């Protein structure tokens, strides 16, 4: 059960980043760039944001380099909360702020544990162990 729930948790955490990254590639690019600039963040950083969302999201979903991806997306989530959703008097912004902190918490739990047996990390680790055992 732990392996299945870890996989489902990874998929749940990654989905918002993958979908958001792909949405920014299309019609949402100019709007997102303008919003970033309005909040004092250079719009030229948007390609890096998209790469972090899609790349990090896919890494979490597949369980590849999971601890690093989880730490990166935890930092991304906190930075996004502070930079874009810190108007805590606005109920909508408060919800987005706390959602980002909750996602960061989930990523930190994932980083502290691991991706589970249903992951590319586990597959690669078992192959390394088999190769090491065969070399003896």
Cβ 118 vs Cβ 7: under 8 Å: yes
- pLDDT at position 134 over 90: no
What percent of the chain has a predicted confidence (pLDDT) above 90? 94
Count of C-beta atoms within a 10 Å radius of residue 38: 10
Q: What is the pLDDT of residues 81-112, one digit of tens each?
A: 999 999 999 999 999 999 999 999 999 999 99
- pLDDT, mean of residues 3-31: 96
- Return the C-alpha torsion angle 12, 31, 100, 98, nearest 10: -120
pLDDT beyond 90 at 26 = no
Please, which contacts does 85-88 make with residues 24 or more away whose CB atoms are closer than 8 Å? none
pLDDT tens, 33-64?
A: 999 999 999 999 999 999 999 999 999 999 99
Calpha distance 15→23 (Å, rounded): 12
Give the residue from 71, 32, 73, 38 showing the smallest Cα distance to 55: 73
- Structural domain harbouring 65: 2-134
The total of structural domains in the chain comes to 1
CA–centroid distance for 13 within its chain: 7
Whether the CB-CB separation of 114 and 9 falls below 8 Å is answered with no
Determine how many CB atoms are found less than 10 A away from the CB of residue 85.
Answer: 20
User: DSSP letter at 45?
Assistant: G
- What pTM was estimated for this model as a whole? 0.93
């Amino acid at each position: 059960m732990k392996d299945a729930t870890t996989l489902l948790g990874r998929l749940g955490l990654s989905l918002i980043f993958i979908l958001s990254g792909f949405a920014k590639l299309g019609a949402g690019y100019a709007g997102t760039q303008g919003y970033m600039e309005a909040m004092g963040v250079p719009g030229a950083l948007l390609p890096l944001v998209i790469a972090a969302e899609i790349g990090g999201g896919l890494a979490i979903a597949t369980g590849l380099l999971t601890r690093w991806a989880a730490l990166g997306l935890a930092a991304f989530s906190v930075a996004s909360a502070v930079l874009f959703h810190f108007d805590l008097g606005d109920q909508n912004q408060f919800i987005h702020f706390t959602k980002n902190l909750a996602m960061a918490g989930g990523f930190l739990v994932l980083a502290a544990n691991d991706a589970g047996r249903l992951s590319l990390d586990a597959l690669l680790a078992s192959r390394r162990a088999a190769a090491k055992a065969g070399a003896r």
